[in-house]
Amino acid sequence: MSLVESNAQVRIRHDVLEGLAWDPHVDDTEVGVEVDDGVVTLTGTVTSWAKRAAAQDAARRVVGVLDVTNSIRVKPPVGLHRTDTEIAEAVRRALEWDVFVEHERILSTVADGCVTLEGTVHRLSQRDDAERAVRNLSGVTNVVNKIVVAAPTSTSENVARAIERALERRAERHARRIGVEVRDGVATLTGSVYSWSERRSVLGAARSTPGVRAVEDRLWPEE
């Protein structure tokens, strides 16, 4: 490893630790951080799945981070144990109360605090919304999202054009620098982005497009 690479990794680790400390949803004393060639590995034990997800999001926001490996374990605090039945009831209420979730299309199963979601929705973003609705619930130790997106009714060419138009609406430079290819509902995005927030915006545009069943992220940070 060169001195330049070593210094870059030290800087990224420092920035990730600062990001964790700054985020009110994360207890930075519970999370360990390692960096190798832009890949951040998070370790430790937190009290909820929501904190685990928040730590991952905080790490991804840091400039220079290419990927995040989340090895954080979830262990609910003693005295705040919820039965699987109580969690299942809370999951159903959360799905019903979230206006962005088609709760009638989604089934859930809870085992030892692990929530498994199943069903079929029309957009990939709706799959994401369902997971978001339940991951912050007390007692949830894991979320397994098995929700599938219905087969596209448009051609791959039409879906690709819809993604490109969505990128143009969000920012003109997205469309200039991002390549879009769609095959059997799988959208592959290539090109460079300036930051994780821009990367998230590009991915969000694709995930919200009707006909997209999955997104292959091949974006890389601008040098």
CATH number of the domain residue 41 falls in: 3.30.1340.30
Q: Which amino acid is at 37?
A: D
144: its two tokens: 């397994």
The dihedral formed by the CA atoms of 6, 60, 40 and 16, expressed in degrees to the nearest 10: 60
Last residue of a domain, which of 149, 168, 193? 149
217 shares a domain with 164: yes
pLDDT at 223 over 80: no
Model confidence at 3: pLDDT above 60: no
Asked if residue 165 and residue 125 are part of one domain, the reply reads: no
Q: What is the pLDDT of residues 189-213, one digit of tens each?
A: 998 887 777 888 888 889 989 999 9
Lowest mean pLDDT: which of 27-36, 118-127, 163-172? 163-172
> What is the per-residue pLDDT for 214?
92
Q: In terms of Cα–Cα distance, which of 93, 169, 162, 168 is closest to 134? A: 93
Residue 174 pLDDT > 60: no
Which of 124, 149, 174 lies at the terminal end of a domain, its last residue? 149
HSE-up of residue 209 (Cα within 13 Å, Cβ side): 31
Q: Is the pLDDT of residue 32 over 60?
A: yes
Q: Is the distance from CB of 180 to CB of 163 less than 8 angstroms?
A: yes
- Give pLDDT tens digits for 136-149: 898 999 999 999 99
pLDDT higher than threshold 60 for residue 220: yes
**Has residue 175 got a pLDDT over 90?**
no
**Spatial CA neighbour of 63 closest among 126, 136, 14, 124:** 14
Round the average pLDDT of the chain to a whole number and report it: 88
Those residues with Cβ within 8 angstroms of residue 77's Cβ, 6 or more apart along the chain or in another chain: 47
For 47-76, how does the pLDDT look when each residue is reduced to its tens digit (9 = 90+)? 888 899 999 989 988 888 888 999 999 988
Residue 127 belongs to what domain range?
84-149
pTM of the predicted model as reported, rounded to 2 decimal places: 0.74
Number of domains in the chain: 3
